[in-house]
Amino acid sequence: MMAMAMASKSSDMIESPSERHSGDISRRKILSQSVTAGGIFLFCLPSPATALSASEASKAYDSYASNYDSLDGGSASTMLGIDQARTDLFKQAKGKVLEIGAGTGLNLGKYDLSKIESLTLLDISPGMLSMAEQRWKNMTIATSSESFISFVQADATSELVSKFGALSFDTVVDSFSLCTMGNDGAEKCLSQLSQVVKSKEQGGQVLLLENSRSSNPFLARYQDATSSAAAEMGGKGCVYNQDVEFMIQQSTKGNLVIESQEQYAAGLFRAFRCTVW
């Protein structure tokens, strides 16, 4: 079957980053197929996925910035509850807000801007940021200051503290970026987030909406078996079976604490609200 064939694909057949991200396969479609057909591939051997490097990610995401919204949204995104999850989580953002992995600005319409003092959108891809800036202009939202929003190109796994300094933001937001960084990169990113956000006593919070390993054992086995294929064949390098809860605890040595967690689509993705102690 197709998924089994993809999972066993040899390394010498893997395309370059630009080639493997040039198709119109959506990782949301892959996830929706997991929900409906997860049990079929229970006995496939696990195939670990390798995330893109920072330079690969920048080039790859530049290459499909123009059609990213259609690839990462659509009916599959709605069916999985992703659109509603974005709204439910991001309306909690307040004060000085940093969104990492902001991409084309898909989340801009999900914020309650009346609660936000300033908004910084950060991404590793200049092409994606250009689309986000255009989206903001098209929204024609009146703000109290021209400096309300800024667009910053940077690597969230290593440059947040050096660019912004410690305790700089009231809210830090991320949606579906950790999976593209791999486990090591994701843990580094979480460590950076925990440093630039204000403490719980100061009202700081980290809001995460991430792909994760399913709480359903059948779907989890399917994810393990196909994670490499999903990353290579339309998942934009996304390692979609990460244990995000464990990484939060591991990467920050207990400093970043999960205050609340909500599962969607049998745990295929989860929303976290965290604070720094």
Percentage of residues of the chain with pLDDT beyond 70? 70
Cβ(122)–Cβ(150) below 8 Å: no
Please compute Rg for the chain using Cα positions: 18
What's residue 45's pLDDT? 40
Task: State the pLDDT at residue 270.
Answer: 97
In the structure, what pLDDT confidence band is assigned to residue 71 with cuts at 50, 70 and 90? low
DSSP per-residue letters across 119-148: EEEEES-HHHHHHHHHHHHHHT---S-TTS
Please, are residues 110 and 87 in contact by the beta-carbon 8 Å criterion?
A: yes
In the predicted model, what is the mean pLDDT of residues 138-143?
72
Positive or negative, the CA dihedral 244, 250, 254, 256 is: negative
Mean pLDDT of 165-193: 95
* Banded pLDDT at 144 (limits 50, 70, 90): low
Q: Which residues pair with 174 in a beta bridge?
A: 100, 208
> Residue 29: its pLDDT value, please?
57
- pLDDT tens for residues 86-96? 999 999 999 99
**Number of residues that this document lists for the chain:** 277
23-43: average pLDDT: 48
CATH number of 2-6+23-108+118-276: 3.40.50.150
Please tell me the distance from the alpha carbon of residue 75 to that of residue 197, in angstroms, as a whole number: 34
CA gap 155, 152 in Å, rounded: 10
C-alpha–C-alpha distance, residues 35 and 246, integer Å: 23
Angstrom CA distances, 61 to 10, 13, 23, 103, 184, stand at: 24, 21, 12, 8, 20
User: Model confidence over 150-174: pLDDT tens digits?
Assistant: 999 999 999 999 999 999 999 999 9
Q: What is the mean pLDDT of the chain?
A: 80
* Every domain of the chain and the residues it spans: 2-6+23-108+118-276
Q: Residue 203, Cβ neighbours under 10 Å: how many?
A: 12
